[in-house]
Amino acid sequence: MNIRLAYKSDVASLVALYAPYVENTAITFECQIPSAEEFTDRID
């Protein structure tokens, strides 16, 4: 396994991975899936 920093090109995949946790669990404190723009801001 290789762990690296996230790139802007990863945003769509990251949102897709994160969305089920937001929608179906209490793991995150978010009620809505962040937009690609919001997620991009988080990795900048």
Q: What residue spans define the domains of the chain?
A: 8-41
Residue % of the chain over a pLDDT of 90: 98
Average pLDDT over residues 2-23: 96
Give the pLDDT of residue 15: 97
pLDDT in tens, 18-36: 999 999 999 999 999 999 9
pLDDT score, position 44: 86
- CA 24, 22, 5, 37 torsion-angle sign: positive
- Of 44, 39, 13, 41, the C-alpha closest to 28 is 39
Question: Which residue is it, tokens 């991009």?
Answer: 40
